Amino acid sequence: MNGTLTFLGTGTSMGVPTLGCACAVCTSPDLRDRRLRPSVVVRWTEPASARHRVVLIDTGPDFREQALRAAINRVDAVLYTHSHADHILGLDDLRPLSFTAFRENGPIPLYATPETTLVLEHIFAYTFSPDATYPNRARVRIEPVAESNPIHGVNFLRVPVFHGDMEIVGYRFGSAAYLTDVSAIPEASFPLLEGLDHLVLSALRYKPHPSHATVDQAIGWARRIGARHTWLTHIAHELGHEATNQNLPDGIALAYDGLTVPVTL
Ligand SMILES: [Zn+2]
Ligand SMILES: [Zn+2]
C-alpha cells in the first residue's frame, strides 16, 4: 500500500529560530532553517473502507500551526514517543478534530507507554480525569503501546530506543521508521530496522549532548542500518540546512518542515 510521510516539524525542543538568538541560522532567509517542534504525519487510503487515514507521531506545541500548513483535517490516531513538552503539548489542539472523529469511530486513540500516560493524565487532567466535566474536552482515549499496533490496515511496530536514561519509543511502519530523541539504539532494535526505504533519525548538532545523538553518531547508525534514504530531524540552530547537507554522505540529509516522502506501508 502506498502512503506518505510528512515532516510537520524538524526542530529541537526550543524550535529554530530560537527565541532571543541572532545567530546565522536563526536569522537565515532559507525557509528550511525555520524548524517547528518535531513531529510527523503518516497518511494513506485504507483499501477496505476507501477512507483517507491520518496518523500523527507526537503532537508538539506547534501542532495547530502544523496541521493548518499540512492540511490535516482529520486524525485517526496519535502515537507518542515520550512525554517531553516538545512532543506532547499540542494534545489539546486535537479537540476540534476529535469531535468529528468521535461521531465516526469514538474517541481518538493515543498510543502511549505507562510513563507517558502518567504525564498526559497529569498535565491534561481536565481531559482524562474520571471527574472531568469540561464539555469541550478532547474526545481521546489512551491505549498502551504494544509491540505491534495495527491502525486501519497499517502495523506500527514499537522500536525501543534510549533518550539519555529514558527508554522511549520509535516506530516502524512499512518500509519507514521514525526514531527521534535518540541517544542510543539497543542491539535488539536493529533487526526491527532492516530493509528500510526511509529512516528518520534525530541529530541535534555536532557537539555531544547527554540525551541526543550528534550528527556523527546518527551517520554511524544510518550506515549500519543501511536505509535507502536517511533523514535527520530534531535539529538545533547550530546546523544550517544548506551547509550541513553539503557535508553529509550520499543518502543522508537534513529533513525540513513540510518535506513529504512516499512510503510503502
Ligand atoms: Zn524532543
Ligand atoms: Zn525528549
Q: Determine if the peptide bond prior to 130 is cis (ω within 30°).
A: no
Calpha distance 107→139 (Å, rounded)? 5
Contact 256/241 with Cβ under 8 angstroms? Answer: yes
Which residues have C-beta within 8 Å of that of residue 125, sequence separation ≥ 6? 132
Round to the nearest angstrom and report the end-to-end CA distance of the chain: 5
Cα of 159 from ligand 2 centre, angstroms: 16
Cα of 255 from ligand 1 centre, angstroms: 15
Over residues 87-142, the pLDDT tens digits come to 999 999 999 999 999 999 899 999 999 999 999 999 999 999 988 888 899 999 99
Alpha helices (runs of H) in 8-92, residue ranges in sequence order:
63-69, 85-88
The candidate with the shortest Cα–Cα distance to 159, out of 142, 175, 173, 140, is 173
Cα of 142 from ligand 2 centre, angstroms: 20
Report the pLDDT value the prediction gives residue 132, as an integer from 0 to 100.
86
Cα of 191 from ligand 1 centre, angstroms: 24
Cα of 250 from ligand 2 centre, angstroms: 28
Q: What residues pair up with 170 in beta bridges, in sequence order? A: 159
- Reported as a pLDDT band with limits 50, 70 and 90, residue 239 is very high
Contact 190/225 with Cβ under 8 angstroms? Answer: yes
Is residue 58 pLDDT above 90, yes or no? yes
Listed residues: CB within 5 A of ion ligand 1: 13, 86, 181
Cα of 38 from ligand 2 centre, angstroms: 10
Query: Which grid cell sits at 146?
Result: 504494544
Q: Considering every ligand atom, which ligand is closest to the CA of 10?
A: 1
- Reported as a pLDDT band with limits 50, 70 and 90, residue 27 is very high
Over residues 77-89, the pLDDT tens digits come to 999 999 999 999 9
Q: What residues pair up with 160 in beta bridges, in sequence order? A: 169
Cα of 49 from ligand 1 centre, angstroms: 35
Over residues 147-175, the pLDDT tens digits come to 999 999 999 999 999 999 999 999 999 99
- Average pLDDT (21-27) is 98
Q: Considering every ligand atom, which ligand is closest to the CA of 58?
A: 1
Q: Considering every ligand atom, which ligand is closest to the CA of 119?
A: 2
Alpha helices (runs of H) in 63-141, residue ranges in sequence order:
63-69, 85-88, 95-105, 114-123, 125-128
Cα of 170 from ligand 2 centre, angstroms: 12
How does strand 39-46 pair with strand 51-57? antiparallel
Q: What percent of the chain has pLDDT over 70?
A: 100
Cα of 54 from ligand 1 centre, angstroms: 22
- Report CA 7 to chain centroid distance, whole Å: 8
Cα of 212 from ligand 1 centre, angstroms: 9
Binning the chain into helix, strand and coil, the percentages to the nearest 5 are: 25, 35, 40
Is residue 200 pLDDT above 90, yes or no? yes
Q: What is the mean pLDDT of the chain?
A: 97
Cα of 86 from ligand 1 centre, angstroms: 5
Helices then strands, counting H and E runs in the chain, come out as: 7, 14
